[in-house]
Structure 1
Amino acid sequence: MPKKKGKKKASNADFTINDCANAPKPVGRVKKSVEIETGPEKTWEDLQDDDFDIIEESNADGTKNFVYKKKRNQSKNESENNDTGIEYPEIVWYLISPYIKPEEVGNFARINKATYAITKRESFWRALYKRYCQNNPKLPEKLRIENSYKLYGLRQRVIRALYHTYEVFVKKILQQATQESRPHQLVKRRCVNVWYCKGQTYWFVYFKLKKANVDTRVKSLDFIEELGRIDANPEMDSQVMQVTCQNFYEVPPLMGMTLSSVSMVLSQGFRHHRLHLGFNTGHYNVSRNVIPECTVVIDTVVNILVYDWWHPKYPNFENRLPLMDEESLPVLKKDFFTSCNRDLGL
């Protein structure tokens, strides 16, 4: 007698490769049977207000009704959002700071507020100077701070000293010397000063340019606070363009004007270059379509170099407190040309 057909029981066992390999028909994706545990259905009286929100929903026919929707697990979400890692005390970062290399100081300061505060301390920069700069014969006398207790601009002086003594920074200077300078990157900077320097063979024309300050508000300075500013740097956002040429070219006064255009072409004879610099009276009217109000042309150009404030050949002056506007202070010293010739080895 044939067997009676009965209902197949749902099996929770996993299917094997043999079930597919020896099957008479191609077998598609087999779904596992999953048992869903359902608890006893709760009545409206059993529901707690803390677990559900009352939300108003609109139906297709325009009617509205209120429904209960379960809240998300806020405790779990809050724990995930607040999981920011281990917060170490400041003393741990202070003990790590003496082992930070000069090229990693910026990354160290961006870790958290504690590391940023450490890079604002006098002890941090003096320790950096002691490890890499102290008693180094290559360090100029004007950058030595062994017997100096001045806090104003300490960070700037240590960084400039590192570019004379620290091997990684010295190699960076040598690599920049072999690369082609890009004077067009100085466009939209304000001219602070222009001066000349006569060498044995060539003339040197210097243009000191600074980024335009968008914030024109005058800030009241506290003399005591300024004296203790370790990170003070009057030369910040300033660059000096050195133009080396065979002949002397007179440049009109450009202080306060904005560099609007830079172009360089071959001069007659194809032995040198001719530099064209365009200046306008404000950074707001600097664009490609505006004709420069003042054009400076320097012929027989041999070389153009751009120096940042930390470069060893950047003409840094003594750090003074900014009690007045920088343009009202004398920019050049009496012995500037003598010191400039000494730095250039002329």
Structure 2
Amino acid sequence: MPRRGNRKRLKYRANDLSSHRVTVADFANSDPAVVKSGRVKKAVANAVQKEVKALCGLEASRVPSEDGLSVLSENGHYGSSEELEDIENGNGTSSKKKKSRKQRESSITDYAGEDFPLDIWLVLASYIRPEDVVTFALICKKAWTITCTAVFWMRLYKRHYQTNAYLPVRLLPECMYRLRALRACVIRSLFHMYEPFCSRLAKNPSLPESTPNTLLNSKCLLFWCKKVEPGIRPEPLWEFNFKLKKLPPKQKNLCLIGLQPPLEYKEVHFNPDQDCCLLQVTTLNFIFIPVVMGMTLTYFTINVSTDMRHHRVRLIFQDCPVLNGKKPRGEQGVQIVLDPVHSVHLLDWWHPKYPFSTMA
């Protein structure tokens, strides 16, 4: 017995169908409640197509059925092109089987997307804020390639250049046309002229709390000491500078691993101070310090001085780095104790007070 609720479907025949029997419900402007699929039924489409061929004569019958259906699919009235492939022939037999839903979804997911030329990405880069450069470079490889060009960094410099800003000689407009280290110079200039970057430096502490951990196993590239004349204090201060080369971060963005700037823009990305920082320790009096250039910083602490009014800095340098969280032994390396300490500052390579070579 047939199941309850099943209704017998109406069969449309080409011989019984005439032009006045084609209703609005058979087309795209019909009520979605009446036609849920949003397209005309296969049997109706075949019958209408046969009747049109009969009315137009022999010339219309020579036109393949796929050409007429492709026009309908472009207008979007009868669904996608994959569904139109399943429309039956005049004899009522199906030409191809319907693709499964999973196959249709996989074909959509396998779509590679549009491939825009570099000129479009260069135009979009003209509207990118300096703090969004990394996000823009992670969109795709072509967007990253644009951030490697000299045109991108020169436009970024000219867009935020201010005539009243104080800049070092290397960062002036007449010196920015040198391609060597152009990217590093533009980044340094933004910390002089771009207000969000300047305010960020003012808000950040002179010595972050994570400094002792981030400077471990850093190599000392350069060391010097100079006398600083204070404004209020009668006696001068002594400033000890340690130029350290930090280890590269353990976790990098997967989208940028293995990507190297093009060879023609290698000079643009040249930066001898990459991953470098300057540790400035200002003391109240001069303290003799042995030579530690070329050694590795394995221990760094800041404590309260014995007079309870200043700080005390302790540094230990060794010939090789200490790994696996082991504590270094003072007798194995060179220990430096600075006490009393007036102030401690950590300057990254882009900081305005970071000393860099004008020949870069």
Per the normalisation by structure 2, the TM-score is 0.62
Residue 11 of structure 1 and its aligned partner are, at CA, apart by 4.3
For 1:260 and 1:116, how far apart are their aligned partners in 2? 36
CA contact (8 A) 1:193 1:209 kept: yes
Aligned partner of residue 146 in structure 1, secondary structure: helix
Q: Take 1:100 and 1:276, find their aligned partners in 2: how far apart are those partners?
A: 44
**What is the Cα deviation at residue 84 of structure 1?**
4.4
Q: Which of 197, 206, 214 pairs up with 2:226?
A: 197
Q: Secondary structure at the match of 1:259?
A: strand
Please name the residue that 1:313 is paired with.
353
Q: Which amino acid aligns with 2:314?
A: H
Task: Evaluate the alpha carbon distance shift between residue 271 and residue 286 of structure 1 in structure 2; reply closer, same or farther with a 3 A threshold.
Answer: farther
- Provide, for residues 218-264 of structure 1, a one-character-per-residue CA deviation record: whole Å limited to 9, x for no partner: xxxxxxx6995101111001011011110111211111111111112
Per the alignment, do residues 189 and 147 of structure 1 end up closer, same or farther by CA in structure 2, a change over 3 Å counting?
closer
1:92 counterpart SS class: helix
Shift of the 113–202 alpha-carbon distance from structure 1 to 2, 3 Å rule, reads same
1:124 corresponds in structure 2 to 152
| Structure 1 residue aligned with 2:30 | none
Are residue 239 (structure 1) and residue 277 (structure 2) matched? yes
- Give 2:226's aligned amino acid: C
CA 1:179 to 1:267, structure 2 compared with 1: closer, same or farther past 3 Å? closer
Q: Specify the alignment match of 1:62 in structure 2.
A: none
Question: Does the CA-based 8 Å contact 1:181-1:306 persist in structure 2?
Answer: no
Q: In 2 relative to 1, CA 141–75 (structure 1 residues): closer, same or farther, beyond 3 Å?
A: same
Higher percent of residues as strand:
1
1:80 Cα offset (Å) = 3.8
Residue 182 of structure 1 deviates from its aligned partner by 4.2
Asked if 2 retains the 8 angstrom alpha-carbon contact of 1:277 and 1:297, the reply is yes
Q: Which amino acid aligns with 1:193?
A: L
Partner of 1:271: 309
Aligned match of 1:22: none
Name the counterpart of 1:172: 200
**Residue 116 of structure 2: SS of its match in structure 1?**
coil
Task: Kindly state the Cα deviation for residue 142 of structure 1 after the two structures are TM-superposed.
Answer: 2.9
The answer for the alignment partner of 1:93 in structure 2 is 121
Instruction: Call closer, same or farther: CA 1:287–1:255 in 2, change over 3 Å.
Output: farther
Q: Which residue of 2 aligns with 1:301?
A: 341
Q: Secondary structure at 2:174's aligned position in 1?
A: coil
In terms of fraction of residues, the more helix-rich structure is 2
249 and 131 in structure 1: CA distance in 2 versus 1, 3 angstrom threshold: same
Match for 1:296: what amino acid?
Answer: I
SS of the equivalent of 1:313 reads: coil
Indicate the SS of the match to 1:193. Answer: strand
Matched, 1:158 2:186: yes
The answer (yes or no) to whether the contact 2:170–2:176 under 8 Å persists in 1 is: no
Does residue 246 of structure 2 align to residue 211 of structure 1? yes
Q: For 1:105 and 1:213, locate their aligned partners in 2 and report how far apart those are by CA, in whole Å.
A: 20
Q: Which structure 2 residue ranges, 5 or more long, are not aligned?
A: 8-98, 230-235, 250-262
Identity of aligned residues (%): 34
After superposition, the C-alpha distances for 1:194-233 in whole angstroms (9 at most, x for unaligned) are 111211132111111103589xxxxxxxxxx699510111
Is 1:182–1:306's contact at 8 Å kept on the other side of the alignment? no
Structure 2 partner of 1:24: none
**Residues 125 and 9 from structure 1, CA distance in 2 versus in 1: closer, same or farther, beyond 3 angstroms?**
closer
